[in-house]
Amino acid sequence: MIKKVSESYRHHVIAFTLGPALKMIEAVFDLLIPLIMKTIIDMSTFNGISAIDSETNPFILKIASFIRLFGTWIEDNQNLNYAIIGGVIILVMGILGFLTTMITQYVAARTAVLVGSEVRCSLYEKILSFSKKEREKFGNARLLTTLNADSYQVQQGVLIFIRLIVRAPFIILGALVISLVLNWQIGLVFASIIPLILFVIFFIMRKSSKEYLNIQKKLDRISIKTSDTIEGSKVIRAFNRQDYEIHSFEHLTKDYQTNAIKVARLNALINPLTFAIIALATLAVVLFGGLPLLESSQRDVALSSTIITEVAYLAQIFTTLVQLTNVVMVLTKSSVSKSRVDEILSVKPSITSKEGAKKINIPDGKEILRFDHVDLGYEEDGNLALKDISFELNKGQSLGIIGGTGSGKSTLINLIERFLDTTHGTVFYKGEDIKNYPLKDLRDEISLVFQHAVLFKGSILSNMQMANPDASEEEITKALKDAMAYEFVSKYDDYLLYPVEEGGKNFSGGQRQRLSFGLVDG
């Protein structure tokens, strides 16, 4: 079990390294393709490399030299020859880029699912280790929302991180550097718009990120309301409170809707603002590059290919910035969810089994349970639910505890099972402080039947084996007979394989109680 989400990240460090590295290769191919296209245009215009050696950009010169290495495929048409060779190179780069993309997508998807599963399993294990105190601190709705929604957001964050966290900045910076090398005046246009667009993106995301935590909290409230309504549906109908509950739920949903729409409106501004800035930048590129062409010569034709290339890089920047918006948005949500997950994973359960504790066997007549001046309060400095409770119970003896509602009967049982620990005083089990007794052995040795019987979705067999997973059919049948449950269970055609719906809703209250008695005996 992990204690923080970052531990799960470290378990997959190879994937977090390999994925971005492959994306870097894909980004290099994407940046080279416009340069190859410009080289093909220039070589065709100037009839080969020899005519452009003196004035051509070093990038273009090196690419042209590389194309020339492949020789001549078509003797009577050099322009077509350069176009075909360059086209084949672009095609090969496209295929390699596609393969690296597919591998990266697989690595990202697999790693995201593995991290998500590990986080969910760790949360589930942690929640099962919580005492009554920790569960009440967070509440069932918060735990469910974190287990499902927040773990999914963490998973999505991993997916986006591996796929785009390196590629997006590399494409933007790469396109900026190349544009400056090709034409410093046009490059300055790029240099001016990129910070402006990033400011727009991060300003909006900074404002919207503050709302994500509120949205998750409102989602918790909706989960609480839904859970209460489902559990208390009979009571709601019995008191004709349907309209009130519907109105109350609508109010919570409207509150959530208001916040969600507010964030959506903020995020919706990013693309139009980015598009407007890019459109102005494209106009500036055409003006800076197009005005000199009004008095063009053959050599000035090279400027037209530069403009085409610069516009291609501008399009790459625009597309990448839109992707970066998505990256920031998802990572912002993921960061909020990661904090909520870490908050639960970092909690140390207040009730744990002491290391090195050993099981003890005692003969009949010896002390099995003793309360020594026990106090218990559910809250610090709050009223005590139990105060100065003392009694002794030997093995073979029986003890009945009676009292009015709220007198502390259930609280006392919770202390015996160590669902709670004392505020003051000591509970002894088999002569040993109960805190020093192995927790698993303690609960194996003490049978507990709840007033509100709980069955789990599955079958009668799976429920009966809760106490003893190795129980045979004969042992379960005997337990059912002892619990007076065999009479109705034996009537089912599939007997022990008869399905149990969620919470045992397909059984009556009495039947659920009898099955729970049998479960303990089994």
Instruction: Write out the H or E segment, with its range, that includes residue 135.
Output: helix 132-138
**pLDDT for the residue 46:** 58
pLDDT category at 54 given cuts 50, 70, 90 is very low
pLDDT in tens, 92-147: 988 998 899 899 999 999 999 999 999 999 999 888 888 877 887 887 878 888 88
Q: Please, are residues 1 and 126 in contact by the beta-carbon 8 Å criterion?
A: yes
Q: Does this model's pTM top 0.85?
A: no
- Note whether 59 and 313 are within 8 A (CB): no
CA 59 and chain centroid, separation: 44
Segment 194-203, tens digit of pLDDT: 788 778 777 7
Residue 48 banded pLDDT, cuts 50, 70, 90: very low
The tens digit of pLDDT for each residue in 217-239 reads 788 788 888 878 877 787 888 88
379 has pLDDT over 80:
no
Mean pLDDT for the stretch of residues 468-489? 85
CA R_g for the chain = 35
Two tokens, residue 314: 């501008």
Distance CA 333, CA 16 (A): 19
Give percent above pLDDT 90 in the chain. 6
Structure confidence at residue 119 (pLDDT):
92
Q: What is the pLDDT of residues 161-176, one digit of tens each?
A: 888 888 888 888 888 8
Which of 101-115, 151-165, 317-331, 411-425 is predicted least confidently? 317-331
CA 42 – CA 60 distance, rounded (Å): 9
pLDDT, tens digit (0-9, with 9 covering 90-100), for 265-309? 777 777 787 778 777 877 777 776 666 555 555 445 566 777 788
Residues 64-82 as b/e (b if ≥16 CB within 10 A, e otherwise) read: beebeeeeeeeeeeeeebb
